[in-house]
Amino acid sequence: METETRRSAHSVLRFENLSVRFSGRRSVVTVVRGVDLVLRPASVHALVGESGAGKTVSAKAVLGLLPRSAETGGRILYHDADLLSLSDRSLRAIRGKRITMVFQQPDKHLNPSMRIGAQVAEVLRYHNGLGRHEALLEARGLLDMVELNGREVLRAFPHELSGGMKQRVAIASAIACRPEVLIADEPTTALDASIQAQILALLDRVRHELGTAILFISHDLPLVRGFADDVSVLYAGRIVEQAASRELFECASHPYTDRLIAATPDPARRGQRLAAIPGGVPDPEEMPAGCAFAPRCPMATDLCRRELPLLRVPAGTLQRLSACHFAEDVACGSLADG
């Protein structure tokens, strides 16, 4: 990962060879495989891929939210501290204050019997040691900041709010302590397009006004394209391509990324038939010996089925990485009609 490290000498969060394993039906199953990733201050790094790719597992590893049965390897560095080796007490001092998370279903993380103001204030009381009255005043300001009517919403219960309003409350709680890192796990899922745009605009304000870096987890490429600075594409637990967002969407260097982009509706390709990716992601207990995408790839050869391609800098490029034996032959949508 020398190229990525050179481009991002100053990182607030860095994955180094991250792996996550669980005990499966017949064996130990690795669901995240050697992930390297750099998150720069006040930037947005998107982690994209299909369901089961390992996106959310990677995010939960940052905050120590994996079940006890999970085995982790590698390092997750928050500045110089390896989060995977911290004590529970040390991690609690970081989680919810310096590194926070917004989940895709805020309902599951809001207490239905507790007023919204008290829930946001609870974060401030726990992490910042504020008194009840002071915390409620600050909670109202945070609700105003996320474009809710703080005075009214402060006294509301979760069931009285819409899905978009609940997600704004979740963001208010997440930014209460001015975190350095915000992990946004599919934060716009199940919201209509106009609300999605508002939530993304709000997150963009957060990173610019607070200097917060955002790890943005999504399967929605159009959202990622307009929001992220950098993109890592995950397939079967492994990063297959990593690049600046504009470079990746203009010219993919991995067949999986190329197919994903070709399968996404784009006004610029109006009238063209959307591509499809045949088959499905392999069972993590029955992973192929070579490239995991080979069974679905139109470019696959015996080499692909036999040898795992390493993440590398393709010839003729400088600031991107691809895990494809034939990355140089994947030229800007060349597989779209394949």
Report the pLDDT averaged over residues 180-197: 92
The Cα–Cα gap between 79 and 102 comes to: 21
**Strand 238-244 relative to strand 230-235, pairing:** antiparallel
Domain parsing of the chain, residue ranges: 2-98+177-329, 109-176
pLDDT, one tens digit per residue, over 91-123 is 999 999 999 999 988 888 899 999 999 999 999
Radius of gyration of the chain (CA): 21
Q: Right CATH number for 2-98+177-329 from 3.90.1170.50, 3.40.50.1260, 3.30.300.180, 3.40.50.300?
A: 3.40.50.300
The pLDDT of residue 285 is 86
Residue 10: φ, ψ to 5°: -105, 110
Instruction: Judge contact between 273 and 329, C-beta under 8 A.
Output: no
The Cα–Cα gap between 13 and 7 comes to: 14
The pLDDT of residue 337 is 46
The Cα–Cα gap between 91 and 61 comes to: 11
Nearest to residue 173, comparing CAs of 218, 89, 116?
116
The Cα–Cα gap between 305 and 302 comes to: 5
Residue 1, pLDDT > 70, answer no
Report the pLDDT averaged over residues 138-147: 97
Q: Find all residues with CB under 8 Å of 82, minimum gap 6, and list them.
A: 75, 76
Pairwise pLDDT comparison (314 vs 335), residue with the higher score = 314
The pLDDT of residue 4 is 42
Alpha-helix runs per DSSP H in 188-254:
193-210, 221-227, 245-250
The Cα–Cα gap between 215 and 279 comes to: 29
Nearest to residue 59, comparing CAs of 79, 83, 42?
83
